[in-house]
């Protein structure tokens, strides 16, 4: 995969943007703005892959299907920006 530039948004902790481990509109807005800003690569924040693996109470989760369906919109909102971050 080729990226349009070397600007990388590294993983961070977005606790104030989750509710019961689920992604909120605030988090989607964050990723939209990062894509609009021209980041060549966006790495999502840390997410718990096991219920016992949560580091903090408001950490995003992906250990169950109820959480997985919440993650897809992150990629969708980033790719909708259409500013060519990824080259095929």
Cβ-proximal residues to 13 (8 Å cutoff; 6+ apart), any chain: 45, 46, 56, 59
Question: Which pLDDT band holds residue 86 (cuts at 50, 70, 90)?
Answer: low
Residue 44 near residue 74 (C-beta atoms within 8 A): yes
Q: Is residue 84 pLDDT above 70, yes or no?
A: no
Number of Cβ within a 10 Å radius of residue 87: 8
Residues 14-42 have a mean pLDDT of: 90
pTM for this prediction: 0.84
Residue 38 near residue 26 (C-beta atoms within 8 A): no
In angstroms, the CA 26 to CA 8 distance is 20
Residues 22-42 have a mean pLDDT of: 91
Question: How confident is the model over 12-25, as pLDDT tens digits?
Answer: 888 789 998 999 99
Average pLDDT across the chain, whole number: 87
Q: Where do the structural domains in the chain lie, given as residue ranges? A: 2-87
How high is the pLDDT of residue 85?
63
């Amino acid at each position: 995969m080729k990226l349009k530039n070397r600007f990388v948004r590294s993983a961070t902790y977005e606790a104030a943007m989750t509710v019961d481990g689920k992604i909120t509109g605030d988090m989607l807005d964050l990723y939209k703005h990062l894509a609009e800003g021209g980041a060549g690569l966006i790495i999502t924040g840390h997410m718990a892959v096991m219920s016992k693996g949560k580091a903090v109470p408001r950490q995003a989760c992906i250990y169950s299907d109820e959480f997985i369906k919440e993650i897809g919109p992150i990629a969708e909102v980033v790719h909708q920006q259409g500013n060519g971050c990824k080259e095929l």
